Structure 1
Amino acid sequence: MIKLHYNYKDLFRSTRLGLSIKKMFVMLCSILAGVLAYGIFTYIAYMVNGSSFSLIWSTYKFIPVPVFGYTALTWYAWLIWGIGAVLFFIAFIFGQTAVAKITFEQLKGNEFYEMKESVKYSFKYWKSAFLAPVTLVILIALMFLGAFIFGLIGRIPYFGPLFIILLIVPIIFGALFTVYLMIVLFVSMFVSPVVTGTSKSDTFDTLFEIFSLVWDHPWRLVVWSGLIGALSSLGFFVFSIIVKYTLEITRWALSVWNNGTWLKIWSNGFYFLPPVPAYTLSEKIAGYVFPFMLTMHNYSGGNWAVAFTSVILGLLFYVIGFTVVSYFVTSWTAGLTILYINLVKMKDDVNLLEEKEEEFDEIEETNETTEEKKEEDKK
Structure 2
Amino acid sequence: MPNFYFDYRDIFRAPRLALSGKKLFIQTSGFVLGYLGYLFLTYTAYLFSEISISETWDSYGLFPLYDFVFNNWISWAIWGAGVVFMLVSWLLTNTCVAKVTYEQLKGDEFYSAKEAVRFLKKNWKTVLLSPLSILLMFIFLLACGLLIGLLGKIPVLGEIGFALFFGLPIFVVALFAVYIVFVLFNSLILAPAIVGTLPEDSFETIVQSFSTTWNQPWRFFLYTGILGVLAKVGSFIFGYFCFRAIQLTIWVCGIFMSDKLYNLIEGGLAYLPYNPSVTNYMTNLFAGISFGFQIPAPSEGVALNWSGEIAAFILGITFVLIGFVIFSYALAIISAGQAISFVIIYKKKEGENLLQRKTDEEDAEFVTETKKGKKLKLQSELAGGSE
TM-score by length of structure 2 reads 0.87
Counterparts of residues 249-264 of structure 1 (less than 5 Å): 249-264=248-263
Find the aligned partners of 2:360 and 2:155 in 1 and give their Cα distance.
Answer: 65
Find the aligned partners of 1:109 and 1:313 in 2 and give their Cα distance.
Answer: 40
Q: 1:57 is matched with which residue? A: 57
Q: Is the 8 A contact 1:217 1:343 kept in 2?
A: yes
Counterparts of residues 116-265 of structure 1 (less than 5 Å): 116-168=114-166, 169-265=168-264
Q: 1:44 is matched with which residue? A: 44
Find the aligned partners of 1:290 and 1:66 in 2 and give their Cα distance.
Answer: 25
Q: 1:371 is matched with which residue? A: none
Shift in alpha-carbon separation, 1:361–1:348, aligned structure 2, 3 A: same
1:186-231 CA-to-partner distances (Å, cap 9, x unmatched) read 1101111111111222211111111111111111111121112111
Q: Which one of the candidate residues 73, 76, 79 is aligned to 2:74?
A: 76
Gap runs ≥5 in structure 2: 285-291, 369-387
TM-score by length of structure 1 reads 0.89
Q: Is the 8 A contact 2:190 2:209 kept in 1?
A: yes
Q: 1:370 is matched with which residue? A: none
Deviation at 1:155, TM superposition (A): 2.2
Q: Is the 8 A contact 1:267 1:299 kept in 2?
A: no
1:321-363 CA-to-partner distances (Å, cap 9, x unmatched) read 0000111011111111111001111110111111112588549
**What one-letter code is carried by the residue in structure 2 that aligns with 1:4?**
F
Larger radius of gyration: 2
Q: 1:285 is matched with which residue? A: 281
Find the aligned partners of 1:283 and 1:193 in 2 and give their Cα distance.
Answer: 30
Find the aligned partners of 2:304 and 2:321 in 1 and give their Cα distance.
Answer: 24
1:291-323 CA-to-partner distances (Å, cap 9, x unmatched) read 548x56435343333122111111111110000
Identity %, equivalent residues: 33
Q: Is the 8 A contact 1:94 1:123 kept in 2?
A: no
**What one-letter code is carried by the residue in structure 2 that aligns with 1:107?**
L
Q: 2:374 is matched with which residue? A: none
1:163-199 CA-to-partner distances (Å, cap 9, x unmatched) read 1122211000001100110110111011111111112
4+ runs of 1 displaced by more than 6 Å? none
Shift in alpha-carbon separation, 1:287–1:26, aligned structure 2, 3 A: closer
Deviation at 1:245, TM superposition (A): 2.0
Aligned length: 359
* CA RMSD between the two structures: 2.2
Find the aligned partners of 1:335 and 1:299 in 2 and give their Cα distance.
Answer: 45
Q: 1:334 is matched with which residue? A: 336
Shift in alpha-carbon separation, 1:2–1:147, aligned structure 2, 3 A: same
